[in-house]
Amino acid sequence: MADHTHHIVPKRVYFAVFTALIVLTWVTAWISTVDLGRMNLVVALSIAVFKASLVVLFFMHIAYATKLTKMIVFSGIYWLILLLFITMEDIWTRGWMGVPGR
Amino acid sequence: MASQSTALQHHFENAEQQKDASTIGMWVFLVTEIMFFGGLFLAYMVYRQAYPAAFASASNKTDLWLGAANTTVLICSSLTMALAVHYASIGKKNLIVLFLVLTLLLGGTFLGVKSVEYHDKWVHHEIPGANFECEGCADAQHASLFFACYFGMTGLHATHMIIGIFIILYLIVKARKGDYGPEWHTPVEMFGLYWHFVDIVWIFLFPLLYLIDRSGGLKG
């Protein structure tokens, strides 16, 4: 196994990630006040996903982790997507069939 | 004490394998946490798409700039936590303690701001229940669903932070004794993963709860 556990991330990586997170927080707060229609939600969630990826990869060291650990993280996110999207597919398509009570 | 903790347990081949096992165990726990919060995110999505006007007007009742400032505080605490882990891995005892204390203070600040926001909701009767009111809300009846999600999600998040604060206190006591160094600092590193996870949950809660229809475009 490679020398993963002794990998020391340089401090400048942390400061760069930190700066990006702070800037994006205020960008997302500001851009929410601009009317982009439905795109407001898309932009807000894209920024959130990008910020979360930075935290996972660098603060949580997944960029330097073993394949097995990466696999576990990926499986967690995958199951979350299954939970959210399969349920929402049902909700979104109910109107198509004229289900009673909707 | 330190020597006991650093000792390689007999069922591991070497220290690296022991560390990898801890990391994997922590991540498996965090995956269960993703699913734990995931259920709340799902409830939020279903109700938001069912009552978009109620969610938009109720979301505008939250304080956008207080929320953004609190997000900043939490990101600062993530940085100080990452630095605490960094100094643990190079064995700078005083700096581990310093950055753990800073993380503790920033976490406390976040909870303080959160309690101010909760108090504001209490004063305005915006807590779901018999006395619920939502002044000027488009669909006051369903606006209480937004606040149910708001308190459920931020409440579970805050509970995680309160638990985290007790764990930081324990880590500070241990770090002061000099228990953590380059060869063994697994508890600091695993707690770091937990703290960053709590930060990630907030990264999603902030846009979902505070930033719906701030421009008022949905009304037009």
Asked whether residue B1 carries a pLDDT value surpassing 50, the answer given is no
Q: What is the mean pLDDT of residues B68-72?
A: 97
> Within a domain: residue B5?
no
CB contacts under 8 A, A 58-87 vs B, are: 59-60, 65-66, 68-69, 72-73, 75-77, 79-80, 83-84, 87
Q: How many domains does chain B have?
A: 1
> Within a domain: residue B133?
yes
> Within a domain: residue B101?
yes
Residue B201 is predicted with a pLDDT of 98
Residues from chain B that touch A45, judged by Cβ atoms under 8 A, are 207
Q: What is the mean pLDDT of residues B148-157?
A: 97
Q: Closest-CA residue in chain A for B41?
A: A84
Asked whether residue B163 carries a pLDDT value surpassing 50, the answer given is yes
Q: CA B69 to CA B81: how far, in whole Å?
A: 19
Of B171 and A7, the structure prediction assigns the larger pLDDT to: B171
What's the CATH code of the domain at B102? 1.20.120.80
* Segments forming the whole domain that contains residue B147: 17-210
Q: CA B110 to CA B161: how far, in whole Å?
A: 9
Interface predicted TM-score (ipTM) of this complex, two decimals? 0.92
Q: What is the mean pLDDT of residues B182-194?
A: 95
Q: Closest-CA residue in chain A for B50?
A: A91
**CB neighbours of residue A5 within 10 Å:** 22
Check B199 against A91: CB less than 8 A apart: no
Distance (Å) from the alpha carbon of A95 to chain B's nearest alpha carbon: 12
Tell me the pLDDT of chain B averaged across its residues.
Answer: 93
Residue A4 is predicted with a pLDDT of 47
Lowest mean pLDDT among A22-31, B5-14, B143-152: B5-14
Asked whether residue A2 carries a pLDDT value surpassing 50, the answer given is no
Q: What is the mean pLDDT of residues A68-78?
A: 96
Looking at A3-66, list the stretches that DSSP marks H as alpha helix, in order from N- to C-terminal side: 11-31, 39-54
